[in-house]
Each structure stands twice: as C-alpha cells, then as structure tokens.
Structure 1
Amino acid sequence: MRVNRKIGMMVAGAAVTAFTLSACSGNSNGGGGGGSEGGSSDSEVEVFTWWAAGSEKAGLDALVGVFDQQHPDTDFINGAVAGGAGSAAKDLLQSRLQANDPPDTFQAHAGAELLDYINAGQLQDVSSLYDEFDLREAFPADLVDLLTHEGKIYSIPSNIHRANMMWSNASVLEENGIDPEKTYNSLDEWFADMDTLQDAGVTPLSVATAWTQVHLLETILLSDLGSDAYTGLWDGTTDWEGADVTAALEDFEHAMSYTNSDRDGLDWPEATQLVIDGNAAFNVMGDWAIAAFEEQGKTLGTDFNAAPVPGTDGVFDFLADSFTLPVGAPHEAGAEAWLETISSAEGQTAFNAAKGSIPARTDADPADFSEYQQTAIESFAQDTIVSSLAHGAAAPVATLNAITDATSKFTSGASDLAAFQSELASAVGTD
C-alpha cells in the first residue's frame, strides 16, 4: 500500500466521534438479550455507535450476529444515536467521559480526532490485543503505523471507507446529453456539465447539513492541491493563506452554487436520496452511500455510477471506523470480547458486506464483496492514502468544529471568501 507518509503523525492514534445514552435504557440488539443485572465483568458490553439506521444499522446487526456466535455468554447492549458522522453524539460522549461514566467501548474514527481523549488519559492502550488477536499480521503494516501514537495503539478498526467518491444518476445525465460513464480529469470539466444541468432546471449537486459541506470542501481541496499539499494543510507545510488555497476555496464556492436550497435541513441519506430519485444529478459522499442505492434495487453501472471526485483519481481519502477501550470501562472483559469480534475475519466480512466499506484485514476474500467494494480493495492497496477531515482522521475535534463553523457561516452567506479563508487558517492555528 502506497501511503503519503506525512499523515503518519496526523493519523496517530485512532479517533473518536460519537456515542449515545440509549444503552442506559437497557435495550439490546442482535439476540443478546438485556444486560445481566449486576453482571460480571464479561456478562455484557455496552457498545456506543452512531449506526442507528440504514446500511449502518444493517452492518451493526450483522456484526452483532457474529458476536453472539463467538461470545454467546456476553450480552450486547446497543447504544446507538442517529446523526450523520456521529455529530449528534459527540457531546454525549464527552459528558460521560468527563463524569467518569464511560461506555464499555465506543465507535471511533481512526485519526487525529482521538488525540484529545488520549491526552486527557481517557483511553487505554490496546496494543496487547493486537498481539493477542494476531492483528499485526492481519492488518497492513502501514495501517498499523497510522494507528500508532507514541508507540501505543488506542483502537481497533472494523473497516476502511473512501471519502472522495462522486455518485451520479445515469438517467438524469443521459436525459441532458451527458455520458453517464464520462470521467472528469478536473473540477472545471465537471463544472461545465453542471452548468448544462443547471441551465436545464436540474439540481446538479446535492448536499446536506454542515458536515456534508465540509466533506465536499475537503475533496475540492484535495482535487485542487493534490495529495502532498492537501496533507500539508494538516502538518503545517501548506499555507492556508496561500493563493492555491484561495483558488480551491473559489472552486468550493462555485460547487456550492450548484446545490439544493434545502441543504441545511437534510442529512446525508436525504441528499443521497435526491440522486437516487433523479431529483439531482451528482452527490459527493463516502462509499457508505452505495448501500443506499443498492438497498433500493439500483444497479451500479446501469442506474447509477461511482467515481473518484474529479481531480482525485489515484488518491484514497481514508477514514476508518474503529472501537476503543475507555479507562474505567465497567465491563472490560466484555469490551475485549467485542474488540475480538470486530477485528476477526468473520466479523469484518459480515459487517463490511452489509455496510459497503472494506475490511481492514488483508486476508478477506474479495469474492465475498460487491463489485464496488472489490474496486475499493484494489484502490486502497495501490493509491496514495490521505486523511479525511470531515471524518476525524486529519484534525483534532476542536479544529474540525472550528472549520465546520466557518464553513457554515460561509455557505449561509454570513461571511465572504476572504473571511472564510482567514477563519480556516485560524481554526488550524496557522494564521
């Protein structure tokens, strides 16, 4: 796997995003039953995720099925909260950790987002589990390096996702004289076709609430700057106030001019649905979106197409869902049982086949996965890997929050481009 080495320290440690208090109600999922009253340290495991609906819940359900088979004496307690990318659950997790009331384990994005929790002493080192579960052999060495922070590892990945994907409705494009299989070498080529669509009264590009706009922003920065300079935004070698960033932000502004007016009231599934229903032509979203198409009977290459965001072919904008072991986890043995399942070949195959992501393990059989997933497995093995901003890999929580606030101000018309660029520089601490 060819990796941009500048991201090594940025993607140190695995990262967190989110979790919920719903597990406190005692609800369970996946046949594990309710939590054992006054149970022993391995009788149950409270698992916090943001996998509450759609393909994400389907993936979780499949994973719980494997967990029940591998650890039948441990009850799974489902703590899941709705909200794209876990945004609705971050405050809940923070409150529980600060109150010394952690869940047994929680879903976490691999990356710099976790550094706040590592520095606060709220996570345990799980390096020994990598040895116990033979994960150093199962996972690519480069991935293990990216998950390592100051010699320690703080989470175990259950999957790999690609953020820089563009989805399109084949019929909408054909009806407007655009080849649905057309590839774009640059944003300018893409914008030209979106001009055609807009002139025809079609919504060219669907987006949703602020985090999806940050997702679009990162892919445009990646397209215009290239992988090295994009990574430089996070390690300090690229000037946020530079002319090349200004040009990329102008392209972001241009892209936003093609989007749906109701965007701030939607989350990613609704934005993706606009493309599925033919009410928009394109959508930029991670490859978890493919399950939304397929579960509605849509066929890749016939009803819809998927390609890297224009200008990013050969680059894999990386994020991974992973799980942690918090300090003070009340059922530590149960948490370790969950970590064993999510890292196992059986668990990763079941989970990723349902969710649309690809396994972190290298011993998975590509034949067990869809056509798109097989291409993603190939791309992850050969493309340059960079870190996703919107999904916790590139920057700490406070930085992402500041970037999100600045982006929301800009796209709502509350600031101009110069102010936006200055606020981004300030958010990253480079102004």
Structure 2
Amino acid sequence: MIKRRYVLALPGAVAAAGTLAACGGDDNGGSGGSGGGGGGDSVEVFTWWAQGSEKAGLDALVEVFNEQHPDVEFVNGAVAGGAGSAAKDMLQSRLQAGDPPDTFQAHAGAELNDYIDAGQITDVANLFDEFGLRDAFPDSLVERLTVDDAIYSIPSNIHRSNVVWGSTKALTDAGIDTATPPASLDEFLEQLETLKSAGVTALSVGTTWTQVNLLEAVLMAELGAEVYSGLFDGSTGWDTPEVTAGLQKFEQMMSYTNTDRDGLDWPDATQQIIDGTAAYNVMGDWAVAAFEQAEQALGDDFVAFELPGKEKIFGFLADSFTLPEGAPHPDGAKAWLETIASTDGQLAFNLAKGSIPARTDVDTAEFSEYAQTAVTSFAEDAICSSIAHGAATSVAWLNAIADATSQFTTGATDLAGYQEALKAAADANQG
C-alpha cells in the first residue's frame, strides 16, 4: 500500500497477474445501487468523453449500464475540450459551489489528491470489497489506487500514453522502412530529419496538453523508468543534466511539428496520420480507435510502437470514477460504479475506446492486434505514470507544467527558462 500521496509507477513494476488476457466469466459485482444513501432513480455521470472514440466508449458503457440497471436513468454530463481541462474547470466550480455530479471521471493517481485534500470525494474501498475488485484488478493497480488505506476511485480501463503512430504511406514514400521501428530516440530524430527533407510534416502535434504528452514520453525514453519516476518523489532533480538532455530532445522534436499545432486537439493531429499528410504522432492509445474507424489496418496502413529509449516502458494512466461527497443520487452513482467495474462493462467500453481492461478476468480475444500489444506491454514492461493524464502529478502541478510548456513551445522562454520553470513547479507541488 502506498502511504504518500504521489502514487508513482515503480521502476520495473508489472501486473502481478501476468497478462490481462484470461478466461472471462461471470461479472463480479455486488448490489451496486442498493446502498443506504437513497437517490437511486438517476445518475449524472460527469466526463470529458464527448467526441471520437471516447464518446463511442461511453456509449458502449451506457448500453451495458441500461441493461444492468434499467430502473436508473443515465444523465450525460460530458464536457468537451482539452483532454479534460474544460471539464475539470467546470467540475471544480460545481464542487466548490456544493453542486457535485453523482460521479465524475478522473485519472487514477495523483490527480485525485486535490479532491481528496478538499474532502470532495469519498472512500470507495467498501465497494472494492463488495464488487470483488481486489481479486479482479492486478495488485500493482490496487496499490496505485490506495492512499493512506483508502481508495477513492474505480478504474474503467488502462491506457498507454507513450505510443508513436505512423503513416505507412508517408514513411514509405520518404524511404523509411516501416517493418522495423527505430531503436533509440536518436534514430527516431534521424527519421524526423529525413521526413522533413522529404517535404512532409514529420511529427504532428496539437494544443498544449498534447505537447505535455510528448514531453512525458521523451522524458520516459531518455531517463528510464527509475530516474523518470524520481521526478515526482524528489529523488531526481528537475535541474539535473539528464533532464536537460531530455528537454533538448523535446525541443528538437518540436522543431519538426506542424505550425498550426496550437489550434488543434488530438483527433486533428491523429487525422493527419490517417490522411498521410504527417508521418508520425505521439499520443495515447485511445487514438487506435480513430484508425480502426477509418478502416485502416495495423502494418498495412499505420504503425504503432512505444517511443524508444533506455528500456521498454508502458506510460500508464487509467480513467476512473469517483463517489463525490454530497452526491445527490449516491445509489445511482454506486450502480454506475458497479457497471464500470463489471466484466461486461469493461469489455464493451474498452473494445470501443481502444484501451485495455483494468480487470484481469476479461477475455481479450476480441481485442485488436494493437490492443494485444498493450496487454503484453503492461504485463512485461517497466511502468511509468503519465504527467499529462494525472497519474504522476496533482492538477495544480500539471497546470504549472502545462503553462511552462506553452511558454516554451510558443517561444516566450528559452530552454534554460523552461527547465527553471519545471523545477519551480516541482518545488511548489512535491510533498
């Protein structure tokens, strides 16, 4: 169990149960909506799943919810924009005003600290026991969710953040062999230069949060799992030469990106790969659903691999749901939590969204070729917590990193100033 608030991915940590593929079986679940708090006739579910594969995943989950809890009305509280930034702002306003939704989406990990410290979410460890989740989830995941003997959210999935997506056509036209991924960051940078010389956008990226996603992938690759994880518990200084080297590679990569990046979100950047107008994009594996919806095949039309570095790393994040303090329909919220934790819910949701189940007993035979690689990576590779998606940092710390990154990528500060700002953000938020 983790006693500190910053729930980190320990170097070399893997899922204790091996691969996530298993035999399947009946749902493990309790009575869900039969709690003593009342208010089980409806549930407002607050998310940022408002478009693309995210909305498809939510729709699939709602279908299962309606089957499992036909007497509970689902109220969609989705807010679009910026990987959840718009939703988080609206959510904080509601929580401070004493108007919480019945349950809200949050990233499992340090992102929850602000809500915990403010007393805005309640301990759901009893639901873990009621739903049998301590046996269904990998031990390493339960440990990441545990804060001072309490658990404050139930995960619906696991995502990998540090995936490189590539257009087979754009890469082949530039003379790059797509059968063998680059073996190092330096080799990847050499390919970006080749692509730029061929007149194609080498690396597509979007607005600030997607740039932070790229930053974390570069730092994972450059530093390795142990040193990277140390950035969040204080054992690695943000002002060290190793971090400087990582930031230099990030600066190089940004020089190969599209000039319209600040006006785009992740679906737009991913679409450039699908259309073949850009060669590479670094994004979480929710992007795979966009390729599949465009009827593109892995290997034939696009490639996917983790950003190469010192070791093989799974950039970890998980979407999860909470039980807010003062939720108007707590039994409705418990019914939703039961569905997102169930084998049927996790199967339907993750098939649509492009993630992999948090449960180890979901049969993944139907999952895509890409998803099978994610299952294997989560079981075998070192695991590092995502910055951009709330696993490694609190909301306040992430906001400070995002502000510093925006200043840097728009030219308002130089690399030394950027590193100084990142160190200041760590100094202000570590604890």
For residues 5-404 of structure 1, the aligned pairs below 5 Å read 9-11=5-7, 41-311=39-309, 314-404=312-402
Show CA shifts across 1:342-373 (max 9, x none): 00000000000000000000001120211111
TM-score by length of 1: 0.91
Matched residues in 1 for 2:284 and 2:306: separation? 10
Partner of 1:23: none
Show CA shifts across 1:293-349 (max 9, x none): 110111111000000012165211100000000000000000000000000000000
Query: Where do 4+ consecutive residues of structure 1 move more than 4 Å?
Result: 5-9
Offset of 1:181 from its aligned partner?
2.2
Matched residues in 2 for 1:80 and 1:357: separation? 19
Q: Decide whether the 8 Å contact of 2:2 with 2:148 is kept in 1.
A: no
Q: Decide whether the 8 Å contact of 1:81 with 1:89 is kept in 2.
A: yes
Comparing both chains, which one has the higher relative contact order based on Cα–Cα distances under 8 Å and sequence gaps of 6 or more? 2
SS of equivalent residue, structure 1 residue 415: coil
SS of equivalent residue, structure 1 residue 316: strand
TM-score by length of 2: 0.91
Matched residues in 2 for 1:125 and 1:184: separation? 44
Show CA shifts across 1:176-230 (max 9, x none): 1100122222111011111111111111000000000000000111111110000
Letter in 1 for 2:219: L
Offset of 1:9 from its aligned partner?
4.8
Matched residues in 2 for 1:298 and 1:283: separation? 16
Matched residues in 2 for 1:116 and 1:181: separation? 44
For these two proteins, the number of residue pairs brought into alignment is 400
SS of equivalent residue, structure 2 residue 186: helix
Alpha carbon RMSD of aligned pairs, Å?
1.5
Q: Decide whether the 8 Å contact of 2:5 with 2:113 is kept in 1.
A: no
Offset of 1:84 from its aligned partner?
3.1
Q: Show structure 1 runs of 5+ residues with no match.
A: 13-39
Structure 1 pair 91–282 and aligned structure 2 pair: CA distance change class (3 A): same
Q: Decide whether the 8 Å contact of 1:198 with 1:204 is kept in 2.
A: yes
Matched residues in 2 for 1:271 and 1:230: separation? 26
SS of equivalent residue, structure 1 residue 166: strand
Matched residues in 2 for 1:238 and 1:362: separation? 33
Matched residues in 2 for 1:372 and 1:10: separation? 30
Matched residues in 1 for 2:101 and 2:240: separation? 43
Offset of 1:384 from its aligned partner?
1.3
Q: Decide whether the 8 Å contact of 1:8 with 1:146 is kept in 2.
A: no
Q: Decide whether the 8 Å contact of 1:8 with 1:145 is kept in 2.
A: no
Aligned-pair identity (%): 63
Matched residues in 2 for 1:175 and 1:91: separation? 43
Q: Decide whether the 8 Å contact of 1:7 with 1:386 is kept in 2.
A: no
Offset of 1:8 from its aligned partner?
7.5
Letter in 1 for 2:398: L
Partner of 2:425: 427
SS of equivalent residue, structure 2 residue 351: helix
